[in-house]
Amino acid sequence: MDPEKELLKRGAESELYLIDWYGVIAISKIRVPKKYRHDAIDVYLRKQRTIHEATLLSHAKFLGINTPFIYFIDAHNFEIIMERIPGKTLKDDCLPNHFITVGKIIGSLHLNNIIHGDITTSNFIVSSNSQISLIDFGLSFFSERYEDKAADLRLFKEILISTIADEFEESFHNFCIGYYEVYDKAPKIINTIKEIEKRGRYSRSVF
């Protein structure tokens, strides 16, 4: 491993490193190989997913959402080098008033048919001036389907219930305020979440 790289996080799909990029502290995200996949398929998938993630990150920034600026893409080495955004994660700075902005961010994505796929409090960075940025588009994709957007929010809702139970009601209410403000289909998405939850309760009661 490059001695100038500092491992920050090792996930199932990728590794994050803190690096020096021409005098600037940056993040290097490298997709790791999967031994259970055929080599040719593995190389193809990692290359395509690297390009896809970088494309969605850039598209979100074009929409005015705070995301890391991409410095360099090396598809052959499955690497994205991007801006390091200083601050705390929303998980560590989980104030209810932050969630209005979070709702606007996700509402803007859904308005433009981008499904983040991993909306967690660990994937929002809160800077010292309370600016909120969204990171990690590794599971993101384009979709117009209401069910995909509802599933995106339902995951986030479940995470909030399990991590900030005492402040969930206020935080999710604030999230909905922001979400409704920017996305005209918000009522339909929220109703779809309720339908999914009803189906889940019915399935558990049957089985």
Annotated catalytic residues are 118
Cα 17 off chain centre by: 18
Bridge-based pairing of strands 124-126 and 132-134 is: antiparallel
Cα dihedral value 191, 136, 74, 108, nearest 10: 50
H or E element at residue 132: strand 132-134
- CA–CA dist 161, 114 (Å, integer): 24
Contacts 24+ apart (CB under 8 A), 41-47: 46/78, 47/75, 47/76, 47/78
Residue among 27, 36, 31, 57 nearest 46 (CA) = 31
H or E element at residue 26: strand 24-31
